[in-house]
Amino acid sequence: MSSSPNFGLVIVGDEILSGKRADKHMPKLIELLAERGLQLAWADYVGDSPGRITATLQRAFASGDVVFSCGGIGATPDDHTRQCAARALGVELQLHPEAEVLIRERMQDVAREQGVPYEPDRADNVHRLNMGVFPKGARIIPNPYNKIPGFSVGDVHFVPGFPVMAWPMMEWVLDRHYTHLFQRGAWVEKSVIVFGAMEATLTPLMEEVERDHPAIKVFSLPSVDHPQYGRHIDLGVKGGPAAVEPAYAQLLAGLHALRAKLGPELVR
């Protein structure tokens, strides 16, 4: 997996940083990636500040990573992501022809549902076309919920902030463009619940296992108030199945030698 690109996430919106809304995109993207044998490498949260959004997107475009950006692609005054993406790329904004067709279809659908005539030149309908104004060279991401598309530039993909729209759009991007990276079954975690031990005591064992098995990573997740296990450490290894098995066996042997009190073993 080291030769594959990393996956990143950008969450845009004051409402996340103020606590008015809780971010649900990161857990969902982690889930979508895990189903395909992939992992999230990083995430950035940024408020509705054009300067900060532009700087964040400049880093995303320059990273070479596969990045999803959620939020801020609407057409209200607090939506800046489309403009900032163009600024970060140094290109102009333009109405995407496929996006225009889809947005006009959506407006006709709404007029039909409301039993009123479709008026393409009405001011609010003309304004809605701004949702299809993307950086020059962008590709559209179809939106199965209401047809209003997102867009991609290179490996950076922009979707709305609404989970009902964003999640199927992210899944579409993964399954359309990155199947060659999927590694289902190629990544596993095995761990054991350790009661009453200190991380400092376990560190030499962790270092030994990583040194003897360079293809895996050791992880240690302490908890002081877990509802089921109370104070404990979730100690384990992760990597390819063939590498994980001997590393985990060595970890367990070391824990037994330390006379650690062990609880359930976990496989993810």
What would the mean pLDDT of 209-222 be, rounded to a whole number? 95
Neighbours of 173 (CB within 10 A): 20
Measured CA to CA in angstroms, residue 229 lies from 54, 104, 168, 187, 212 at distances of: 44, 55, 35, 26, 30
Please give the average per-residue pLDDT across 215-224, as a whole number. Answer: 94
> 134-174 pLDDT, tens per residue?
999 999 999 999 999 999 999 999 999 999 999 999 999 99
Q: Has this prediction a pTM greater than 0.75?
A: yes
Q: Give the residue, 184 or 63, on which the prediction is more confident.
A: 63
Given a cut of 80, is residue 258 above it in pLDDT? Answer: yes
Sign of CA dihedral 51, 40, 266, 167: positive
- The mean pLDDT value for 177-185 works out to 87
CB atoms within 10 A of CB 91: 15
How far apart are alpha carbons 241 and 34 in whole angstroms? 15
pLDDT at 227 over 90: no
- Average pLDDT of every residue of the chain: 95
Residue with more model confidence, 240 or 141: 141
Residue partners of 224: CB distance under 8 A and separation at least 6: 231
Rounded mean pLDDT, 5-13: 97
CATH superfamily for domain 7-181:
MoaB/Mog-like domain (3.40.980.10)
pLDDT at 2: 46
Residue 3 or 135, more confident: 135
- pLDDT for the residue numbered 268: 79
pLDDT band at 185 (very low <50, low <70, confident <90, very high): low
| pLDDT bracket for residue 1 (50, 70, 90) | very low
Please state the domain extents for the chain: 7-181, 188-267
164 Cβ contact partners less than 8 Å away, ≥ 6 residues apart: 145
CATH number of 188-267: 3.30.70.2860
